[in-house]
Amino acid sequence: MEWNEQRALSLAAQARSSLKLSAGHNQLLRIGHNALVLFKGTPYVARIAGSHGQDVASPNEVAIAWHLLDHGVPAITPADFASLELEGHVVTIWHYHQPREGDTQPEPEQLVELMWTLQRAMESYPLQLPEWTPLSRIDSWLDFLREDPSLPAVDWELLSGWRERLAQRLPSVCSRLGVGPVHGDLDGNVFMTAEGPRICDFENVCLAPRELDLVTVAVNAFHFAGRAHQRRWQRFVAACGCDVTEWDGWEVLCRWRLLQVTLWRLACDHRAEDRSEALNRLSYWQRDLDANVLFNSR
């Protein structure tokens, strides 16, 4: 079934009933790879995994969050409810942390500290972390979009061709920082709460080149609209002590990330009335990696 706001709210209503929480209104806080829905009148939010290959929920997400909290890493706090599976969607329940007024993103120096602290803490995680599989979601989205009549076959072939180029080059990427636990999508998954920053969304935690967490920040800085991103990147590099864009694996992982977020947006918006951002991202590839095409919302 279609993954959209109505679908997320319907699943949230089912979850609220299954958990026997008091009746009340449910508020959609955000939707993307997954949806976050506030059960108003309670201290809980539901995180609902998406579909169409957009989100493969990790069975260890709650365990990872508790491990991080036990090691002093500020993560969102799981609630004492078992995970649910509703119509093929995994639903986990978390405590709601009141957002901070004003800035909605951490300072670059805070982001660096959160990144290194999380990576160090996850080194002692007692369960086996999955290895990074960079093409799995790309393949899922391509499979879904192959049947999408709104995407011309020539554009699907273009994106599939880039997938094949990446498949040839990814094995040659050699990490300078070593392979270890990474968040996988840290930038954009830190909530600024009244208590301070809280890390969320642990479905991408895996064993990968440690540069991966830096790459996602750099892609946001250089390929998403807004000069503020680039100013943040300069401060991030100063705090981090290394510039991932000078690493010889940067070009490959940058293309990988851009293809990933392009396919995700095309899959999310395949039936939306406003597909302007999906088509904007597609134009980057149609124009042979036109650096003048800046992506907008993540």
Q: Tens place of pLDDT for every residue, the chain, 298 residues?
A: 677 889 999 999 999 999 999 999 999 998 877 899 999 999 999 999 876 444 444 558 999 999 999 999 999 999 999 889 999 899 999 999 998 887 778 999 999 999 999 999 999 999 999 999 999 999 999 999 999 888 999 999 999 999 999 999 999 999 999 999 999 999 989 999 989 999 999 989 999 999 999 999 999 999 997 767 888 899 999 999 999 999 999 999 999 999 999 999 998 876 677 789 999 999 999 999 998 899 987 5
- Helices (H) and strands (E) in the chain — how many of each? 9, 9
Torsions phi, psi for 91 (to 5 deg): -120, 125
**What's the CA angle centered on 120, arms 114 and 125, to 5 degrees?**
115
pLDDT at 32: 75
Q: How far apart are CA 202 and CA 186, in angstroms?
A: 9
H or E element that contains 281: helix 276-286
Place of tokens 């940067």: 250
pLDDT at 54: 41
What is the C-alpha radius of gyration for the chain, rounded to an integer number of angstroms?
Answer: 19
How large is the angle between the packed helices 153-169 and 276-286, nearest 10 degrees? 60
pLDDT at 56: 47
SS3 20: coil
pLDDT at 228: 75
Q: How far apart are CA 158 and CA 257, in angstroms?
A: 16
Structural domains of the chain, ranges and CATH numbers in brackets: 5-95 (3.30.200), 108-286 (3.90.1200.10)
Q: How far apart are CA 168 and CA 188, in angstroms?
A: 29
| Residue 225 neighbours by CB distance under 10 Å | 12
| Residue 269 neighbours by CB distance under 10 Å | 18
pLDDT at 283: 97
